[in-house]
Structure 1
Amino acid sequence: MSNDYPPSLNSVDQMVPSPRRVRATLGGRVVVDTTRAVYVWEHPAFPQYYIPVDDIDPSVVSLAKVRADGLARFESGALDSWFEEDEEIFGHPRSPYHRVDALRSSRHVRVELDGVTLAESSSPVLLFETALPTRYYISRTDLNMDALEHTGTQTLCPYKGRTSDYWTVRTPAGVYPDFAWSYAFPLPAVAAIAGLVAFYNEKVDLYVDGRAQERPVTPFS
């Protein structure tokens, strides 16, 4: 196990001990309870918890992927819920080297697609997240709701929580599923984005203080 600090987020199978108590439940029962979990970066920037088999209820070990070193990982959805200390986590563990900040701003932001203005605001909340482009969260009163259609999509983010809403964009030129989203009850660290709406920079035309922004290339492109 490497003791490099911080680890290279491009290094697959990098392992770092977690100082947090980690628990998981299934059917209302705690089936994982450990202070010996390790983070393993199987993919860059997205760690997973590996748990000593001795700290897993024997009845659920068969649901896990067990390594020769006695550590085991559960696939997403195999257990009902996961906790770091007493706080529930979503999706995958939060990386100790990943930061998210939500800052109120007076920058002027305009979002367009196919020449249609989708949103325009001078009071956005800017969300800065490690390894991702800045996201611009905008009040619903500043949206062109005639171009947006609510969908039932929900996603999980370890750093922001569970989305409450997604919207498909409709323009005269096409239909674009799930191009915008919102968190009604985000995690406390990004509480400022509650109820606001963001669009994928990768998929829309974004103007900040009158300047066109290049569409970034990310896994969401």
Structure 2
Amino acid sequence: MNDLPSENVQDYPRPPAIEQIGQRLRVVLGGVVIADTTAGLRVLETHHAPTYYFPPQDVMAGVLKAAQGASYCEWKGAARYWTAQAGGEIRPRAAWSFSRPSKPFASLAGYLAFYSEPMDACFVGDQRVSPQPGSFYGGWVTPNLQGRIKGAPGTEFW
């Protein structure tokens, strides 16, 4: 059952918007629920699947270790990466966060987002997500999304 309202990614704003999400969010790695929240945030941007962020207190202690490298988002600022480890599994650079995001995204400070592809499973409500196409973006694709999602070959420079 799809408990999420229908949304078209082409209707999402640019610049992106941040909002609270009412659904439960979960991340599973190595058979262990490493993140579970009902207080998550999501970022919506035109042609992107939503990116979901967990408050740090809703991520299991000790499962994330700082990873090498960083990146820069034109909207949110400098991101740092995290390696996830649980249930005997290790996933390098599987999560990211913004320590000091830009002012419009200040509420993301310290929150953590996870790539869904390297995890056992990620959920929005009862819906298991698929990764946003491509190797760079971290959006979570749910069955309620319509429209063309950026990330597949030929969409890199939209």
1:216 offset after TM fit, Å? 2.9
Taking the aligned partners of 1:172 and 1:107, their CA distance within structure 2 comes to: 25
Q: Tell me the residue number matched to 1:104.
A: 20
Deviation at 1:193, TM superposition (A): 1.1
Task: Kindly provide the CA deviation profile for residues 125-146 of structure 1, in whole angstroms up to 9, marking residues without a partner as x.
Answer: 1111223221111111000123
Residues 1:192 and 2:107 aligned together: yes
User: What amino acid sits opposite 2:73 in the alignment?
Assistant: C
Q: Aligned partners of 1:112 and 1:220: how far apart in 2?
A: 21
- The residue aligned with 2:131 is 215
Q: Distance in 2 between matches of 1:182 and 1:144?
A: 15
Deviation at 1:178, TM superposition (A): 0.9
Q: Within 5 Å, give how 1:1-16 maps onto structure 2.
A: none
Alignment of 1:120-131 (within 5 A): 120-131=36-47
Measured in 1, the distance between the counterparts of 2:70 and 2:94 equals 13
CA deviation after TM superposition for structure 1 residue 173, in Å: 4.3
Higher RCO (C-alpha under 8 Å, 6+ residues apart): 2
Residue 132 to residue 218, structure 1, CA distance change in 2 (3 Å): farther
Matched, 1:155 2:66: no
Q: Which runs of 5+ in 2 are unaligned?
A: 1-12, 138-158
Normalising by structure 1, what TM-score? 0.51
**Residue type of the alignment partner of 1:110:** R
Return the alpha-carbon distance in structure 2 between the equivalents of residues 218 and 101 of structure 1: 22
Q: How many residues align?
A: 124
CA contact (8 A) 1:135 1:201 kept: no
Which letter maps to 2:30? D
CA distance in 1, matches of 2:30, 2:116: 14
Q: Are the equivalent residues in 2 in contact too, given 1:104–1:126 (CA < 8 A)?
A: yes
Quick one: distance in 2 between partners of 1:175 and 1:181? 15
Instruction: Note the C-alpha offset of 1:174.
Output: 2.9
In structure 1, stretches of 5+ residues that fail to align are: 1-96
CA contact (8 A) 1:132 1:218 kept: no
| Residues 152 and 214 of structure 1: CA distance in aligned 2, closer, same or farther (over 3 Å) | closer
Alignment-mate amino acid for residue 143 of structure 1: V
Q: Distance in 2 between matches of 1:131 and 1:115?
A: 32
1:206 to 103, 107, 122: 122
Match of 1:190, SS? Answer: helix
What pairs up with 1:75-154 in 2 under 5 angstroms?
A: 98-154=14-70
Q: What root-mean-square deviation, in Å, do the aligned CA atoms of Structure 1 and Structure 2 show?
A: 2.0
Aligned equivalent of 2:151:
none
Q: Is the 8 A contact 1:104 1:192 kept in 2?
A: no
Aligned to 1:35: none
Q: Aligned with 1:146: secondary structure?
A: coil
Largest Rg, 1 or 2: 1
Same amino acid, percent of matched pairs: 26
